[in-house]
Amino acid sequence: MRQQEFMTEGESRLKPLTRREIASALNLHESTVSRATDHKYMLTPKGIFEFKHFFTTKVGVNKGEGQSARAVQAQIRKMIELELHSKPVSDSILSKILADKGMFIARRTVSKYREQMNIPPANQRKSVL
Contacts of 33 (CB under 8 A, 6+ apart): 19, 22, 23, 26
Same domain? 47 vs 63: no
pLDDT at 12: 75
Same domain? 29 vs 49: yes
Same domain? 91 vs 46: no
Residue 55's Cβ-side half-sphere holds a number of Cα atoms within 13 Å equal to: 16
pLDDT at 61: 61
Residue 103: which domain range? 58-125
Alpha helices in the chain (DSSP H): 4-9, 19-26, 30-37, 69-82, 91-100, 107-116, 122-125
pTM (two decimals): 0.68
Between CA 90 and CA 70 the distance in angstroms is 20
Counting Cβ atoms within 10 Å, is residue 38 exposed (0-12), middle (13-18) or buried (19+)?
exposed
Listed as ranges, residues in the chain with pLDDT below 50 are: none
Task: Please indicate, yes or no, if residue 110 is contained in any of the structural domains.
Answer: yes
Question: Residue 12: which of 56, 52, 62 has the closest Cα?
Answer: 56
pLDDT at 128: 58
Same domain? 73 vs 30: no
Same domain? 118 vs 83: yes
pLDDT tens readout for residues 34-66: 999 999 999 988 889 998 888 887 776 655 566
| Kind of pairing between the strands at 58-59 and 41-44 | unpaired
Residue ending a domain, among 10, 33, 54, is 54
